[in-house]
Amino acid sequence: MWYDTGDMRLRTIEKVNVKNKRVLVRADFNVAIKNGVIEDDFRIKKTIPTLRFLLKQRAKIIIITHLGRPEGDGIHGDPSMSLRKIARRLSKDIGRPVQFVSECVGKKAESAAAKLKPGEILMLENLRFHKEEEENDLAFAHSLAKLADVYVNEAFSVSHRAHASVDAVTEFLPSYAGILLAEEIKVLHRACMKPRLPLVMVMGGAKIETKIKLIKRFFDTANNILL
C-alpha cells in the first residue's frame, strides 16, 4: 500500500507478501522504567497492531529497539538497560511468547534469527549498547540487515535520527513503514497541508532542538502552540 503525502509516497507493509520471511521491525520501546519496573507500556501496545498483522501473515518477526542512553559496548552494556524486561512485557501485552537474545548483532543473534519459525517473535538486545548505532555505521547496519529479508520502520519518534537501525539499514533491505508510523505521518501531513481550524498544536518532550523546525512550521497555521 502507498500513502500519498504530497511530495512523497510512503510504502507500507500492508500489501507486501511476508509469509515465511524474516521481518526486522524497528520499534521504539524506550519506555519509562523506575526501580526496574516499567511504568508505562503505551509505546509497546501501540506497536501491537503491526506485530499482529505480521503474525497473521506468518512472518518471522525480529524486533530491534533502544532503551535510554546506556554506557558500555556490546554485550557489556549497562544491565539495567537490557531489553529483557521489555520482551517480557511485550509477551504479556501481545499474549504470546517473545524470545530474547542478549545481542543484537553477531553469531548469537544470527543463530536465533535463523531458527525462527513462522509466527514467532524474537527481540534483540539494546541497539545503543553499540556506539555504531548512533554513528549510523554501515557495517553495523549491514550486520542487522543480515538477520532479515524485509525491514519495517515502526518507530516514528526516532525517524528524524540518522542512526543505523533507522537510516543505514535501508540500504540493504526492502523497507516499508509500519501501520502506526504510516498513520502518524498521515495525521501530521493533514495538519500541515490541510488543517482543520481552529488548530491547537501540543508539543511535548525534553529536547526542544529536535522539534524547533516543526514548531516554526506551525507559526502561521496553528491558533495556539502549547509547549
- Give yes or no for a contact between 82 and 124, defined as CB atoms under 8 angstroms apart: no
Per-residue pLDDT at 23 = 98
Query: Where along the chain do its domains lie?
Result: 2-183, 196-226
Q: What is the pLDDT along the chain (227 residues), one digit of tens a residue?
A: 444 444 447 789 998 999 999 999 999 999 988 888 898 889 999 999 999 999 999 999 999 999 988 865 555 568 889 999 999 999 999 999 999 999 999 999 999 999 999 999 999 999 999 999 999 999 999 999 999 999 999 998 888 889 999 999 999 999 999 998 988 888 878 877 888 889 898 887 767 777 788 788 888 888 898 88
Q: What are the pLDDT digits (tens) for 60-88?
A: 999 999 998 886 555 556 888 999 999 99
Per-residue pLDDT at 140 = 98
Q: What are the pLDDT digits (tens) for 14-49?
A: 989 999 999 999 999 999 888 888 988 899 999 999
Structurally, what CATH architecture does the domain formed by 2-183 represent? 3-Layer(aba) Sandwich (3.40)
